[in-house]
């Protein structure tokens, strides 16, 4: 990274709010605006695209107010239209309301114009108050009209970066940059909206800073990528047809047709909302997973997907906390698997749903290929045998028949899980903890030792009588919940002590937060 030009302000000195109101435009040359607060020292990255002021502050795209406010405008227009249709015929029945259609239209339109003007003004003021800049260590983001907010996102705590393009933003060639940072709910930061090439360059610069890469030149180098797996549309549609939801939908459709033929059409109407909800769920699955592609690059895994709203997610190395492979019953003939992950930094149901899917449906070979990106030793004989036994294996009266090394649930677990108790088991490798469960919908969970958050043992009243216990691994929020069910109580206690020791040793030997740093930071 180049040094600041001679005569530029020292970025290591704290910035202070100027006396009196002042909101200069960073696009104007020679602007010397200094935002409130004290900034973390660091060299400002002036190689980012777009114009900036003398201190490196940049604004979002000028179309941002329109993209942020169009939904409110559309709702107001629909509401006013509905109210006008209702008021015009009944204007003579409203006390004090003039019996004149033109006056009614003028009053309603004026109120709507005032409200829309206020929305537009607020959006413009919000845009002018929002600016960002990037140093080697921190992304600074200032926003807020009435209440000023100053965010400082530490780049060494960066968990994932998403480039999101809603449908309307795609029409303008714009994108939203979403940064997930370790810290749980409310720790994310958004830059919305930027031109798509600019968003990709900013993402490359942030990933370079997060990895500890020092670069020279006008822009951060874009890390090369290698496509690993691409999901064909035919496989996606067939997997949805083989899902339990599709079976339920088919049953409801047949029931509606039979009731209609028999003359009970009024009864079929009660089933129609459920059928329409199933159609909506299928559409969400298709549009969200359309064009699903996973690629590997030095800055992490890159996941791209979406039909109407496209999303490009970049997960840096070491941010995946747990992985699960799931196989529904109707997928066994095809030997397909769904891969889900817990990514550090994502919080909330919406975030988990957006970030937790690594591949909606993959062949076994593709699933192992993606798994190898998280666990490089997947194809090592010991770990490969444990994974193979975890995908399809079962115990024999509480014993591991193949000698793969699984600690299996005893026969007493039959009373608590009569269908799937033979699938219950846990194994330990040098790299990870492996848990298998479920018989109808098979599941295998892997947790790297260094990503273990905490451990626990839980026992219900029936488990206490049977001498059983559940062994739990607490992970970051996500779709994967590591839990080895119905182990013998003594074995669960020994496993907890051993796993705590392994986790401490693995964390002590884990790599740095800046995974590509070759020299200590200045």
Greater confidence, 181 or 77?
A: 181
Q: What percent of the chain has pLDDT over 90?
A: 39
**Residue 301 · residue 368 · CB < 8 Å:** no
Greater confidence, 492 or 248?
A: 492
Q: Kindly state the tokens that stand for 296.
A: 């590997």
Average of per-residue pLDDT across 449-464: 94
Q: How far apart, in whole angstroms, are the C-alpha atoms of residue 297 and residue 222? A: 10
What is the per-residue pLDDT for 218? 62
Neighbours of 24 (CB within 10 A): 15
468-471: Cβ within 8 A, 24+ apart? 468/409, 468/410, 468/412, 468/413, 468/416, 469/493, 471/426, 471/495, 471/496
Whether 221 has a pLDDT exceeding 80, the answer reads no
Average of per-residue pLDDT across 405-425: 95
Helix, strand or coil for residue 398? coil
**Residue 199 · residue 249 · CB < 8 Å:** no
Q: How far apart, in whole angstroms, are the C-alpha atoms of residue 141 and residue 37? A: 11
Q: How far apart, in whole angstroms, are the C-alpha atoms of residue 423 and residue 408? A: 8
Most confident of 242-256, 278-292, 458-472: 458-472
Identify the band that residue 425 occupies on the pLDDT scale cut at 50, 70 and 90: very high
**Residue 428 · residue 502 · CB < 8 Å:** yes
What is the per-residue pLDDT for 25? 47
Strand order in the sheet with 158-165: 189-195, 174-181, 158-165, 310-315, 300-305, 293-297, 226-230
Whether 332 has a pLDDT exceeding 80, the answer reads yes
Whether 272 has a pLDDT exceeding 80, the answer reads no
DSSP assignment letter at 339: E
Among the listed residues 356, 428, 441, the one whose alpha carbon sits nearest the alpha carbon of residue 386: 428
Helix, strand or coil for residue 42? coil
Whether 436 has a pLDDT exceeding 90, the answer reads yes
Determine if the peptide bond prior to 173 is cis (ω within 30°): no
Domain boundaries, the chain: 64-128, 232-289, 320-508
Neighbours of 467 (CB within 10 A): 13
Among the listed residues 299, 268, 37, the one whose alpha carbon sits nearest the alpha carbon of residue 144: 37
Range in 18-22, 79-83, 172-176, 261-265 the model is least confident about: 18-22
What is the per-residue pLDDT for 102? 66
Greater confidence, 20 or 175?
A: 175
Residues 6 or more apart whose Cβ sits within 8 Å of residue 423:
394, 395, 436, 437, 438, 439, 442
470-497 pLDDT tens trace: 999 998 888 999 999 999 999 999 999 9
343-366 pLDDT tens trace: 876 654 444 455 689 999 999 999
Identify the band that residue 183 occupies on the pLDDT scale cut at 50, 70 and 90: low
What is the per-residue pLDDT for 8? 43
80-115 in b/e burial notation, b at 16+ Cβ within 10 A? beeeeeebeeeeeeeeeeeeeeeebeeebeeebeee
Average of per-residue pLDDT across 458-467: 95
Average of per-residue pLDDT across 365-373: 93
Whether 236 has a pLDDT exceeding 80, the answer reads yes
Average of per-residue pLDDT across 67-78: 73
Q: Kindly state the tokens that stand for 491.
A: 């074995």
40-49 pLDDT tens trace: 445 777 778 7
What is the per-residue pLDDT for 24? 43
Q: How far apart, in whole angstroms, are the C-alpha atoms of residue 514 and residue 77? A: 50
Q: Kindly state the tokens that stand for 60.
A: 């979002």
Whether 378 has a pLDDT exceeding 70, the answer reads yes
Range in 33-42, 128-137, 150-159, 324-333 the model is least confident about: 33-42
Greater confidence, 179 or 8?
A: 179
Angle at 457 between CA 454 and CA 460, to 5 degrees: 140
Start-end of H helices in 51-137: 64-90, 101-129
Q: Kindly state the tokens that stand for 146.
A: 């009435």
Average of per-residue pLDDT across 244-271: 81
Q: How far apart, in whole angstroms, are the C-alpha atoms of residue 413 and residue 463? A: 9
The whole-model pTM stands at 0.78
Furthest-apart CA pair in the chain: how many Å?
A: 89
Whether 101 has a pLDDT exceeding 80, the answer reads no
Please provide the average confidence, as pLDDT, over all residues in the chain: 81
Phi, psi values for residue 257, rounded to 5°: -65, -45
147-164 pLDDT tens trace: 888 888 888 888 788 999
Q: Kindly state the tokens that stand for 404.
A: 């793969």
Q: Kindly state the tokens that stand for 143.
A: 């926003």
Q: Kindly state the tokens that stand for 477.
A: 């929020």
Average of per-residue pLDDT across 495-517: 80
DSSP assignment letter at 403: -
Range in 250-259, 326-335, 365-374 the model is least confident about: 250-259
Q: How far apart, in whole angstroms, are the C-alpha atoms of residue 366 and residue 302? A: 15
Most confident of 55-69, 182-196, 404-418: 404-418
Identify the band that residue 184 occupies on the pLDDT scale cut at 50, 70 and 90: low
CA 362 centroid distance within chain: 20
Q: What is the dihedral of CA 52, 53, 59, 62, to 10 degrees?
A: -80
Phi, psi values for residue 170, rounded to 5°: -65, -35
């Amino acid at each position: 990274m180049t040094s600041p030009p001679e005569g530029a302000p020292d970025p290591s000195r704290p910035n202070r709010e100027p006396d009196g109101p002042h909101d200069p435009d960073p696009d104007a040359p020679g602007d010397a605006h200094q935002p409130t607060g004290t900034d973390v020292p660091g060299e400002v990255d002036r190689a980012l695209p777009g114009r900036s002021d003398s201190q490196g502050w940049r604004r979002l795209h000028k179309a941002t107010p329109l993209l942020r406010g169009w939904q409110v405008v559309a709702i107001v227009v629909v509401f006013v239209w509905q109210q006008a249709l209702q008021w015009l015929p009944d204007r003579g029945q409203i006390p004090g309301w003039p019996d004149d259609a033109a006056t009614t239209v003028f009053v309603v339109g004026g109120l709507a114009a005032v409200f829309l003007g206020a929305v537009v003004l607020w959006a413009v003021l919000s845009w002018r108050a929002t600016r960002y800049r990037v140093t080697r260590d921190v992304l600074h983001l200032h926003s807020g009209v009435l209440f000023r907010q100053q965010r400082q996102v530490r780049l060494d705590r960066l968990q994932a970066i998403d480039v999101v393009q809603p449908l309307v933003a795609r029409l303008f060639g714009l994108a939203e940059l979403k940064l997930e940072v370790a810290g749980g709910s409310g720790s994310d930061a958004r830059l919305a909206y930027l031109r798509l090439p600019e968003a990709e360059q900013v993402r490359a610069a942030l990933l370079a800073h997060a990895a500890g890469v020092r670069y020279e030149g006008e822009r951060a180098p874009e890390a090369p990528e290698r496509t690993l797996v691409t999901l064909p549309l035919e496989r996606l549609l067939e997997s949805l047809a083989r899902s339990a939801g599709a079976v339920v939908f088919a049953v409801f459709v047949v029931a509606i047709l039979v009731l209609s033929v028999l003359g009970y059409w009024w009864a079929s109407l009660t089933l129609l909302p459920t059928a329409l909800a199933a159609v909506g769920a299928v559409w969400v699955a298709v549009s969200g997973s359309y064009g699903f592609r996973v690629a590997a690059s030095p800055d992490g895994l890159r996941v791209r997907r979406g039909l109407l709203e496209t999303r490009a997610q970049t997960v840096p190395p070491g941010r995946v906390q747990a992985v699960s492979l799931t196989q529904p019953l109707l997928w066994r003939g095809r030997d397909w698997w769904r891969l889900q992950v817990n990514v550090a930094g994502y919080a909330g149901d919406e975030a988990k749903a957006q970030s937790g899917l690594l591949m909606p449906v993959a062949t076994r070979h593709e699933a192992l290929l993606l798994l190898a990106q998280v666990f490089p030793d997947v194809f090592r004989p010991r770990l490969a045998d444990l994974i193979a036994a975890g995908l399809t294996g079962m115990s024999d009266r509480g014993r591991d028949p193949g000698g793969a090394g699984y600690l299996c649930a005893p026969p007493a677990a039959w009373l608590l899980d009569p269908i799937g108790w033979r699938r219950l088991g846990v194994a330990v490798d040098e790299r990870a903890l492996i848990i298998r469960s479920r018989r109808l919908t098979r599941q295998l969970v892997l947790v790297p030792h260094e990503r273990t958050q905490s451990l626990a043992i839980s026992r219900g009243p029936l488990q206490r009588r049977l001498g059983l216990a559940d062994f739990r691994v607490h992970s970051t929020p996500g779709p994967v919940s590591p839990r080895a069910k119905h182990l013998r109580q003594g074995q669960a206690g020994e496993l907890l002590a051993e796993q705590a020791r392994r986790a401490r040793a693995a964390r002590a030997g884990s790599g740095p937060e800046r995974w590509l740093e070759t020299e200590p930071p200045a």
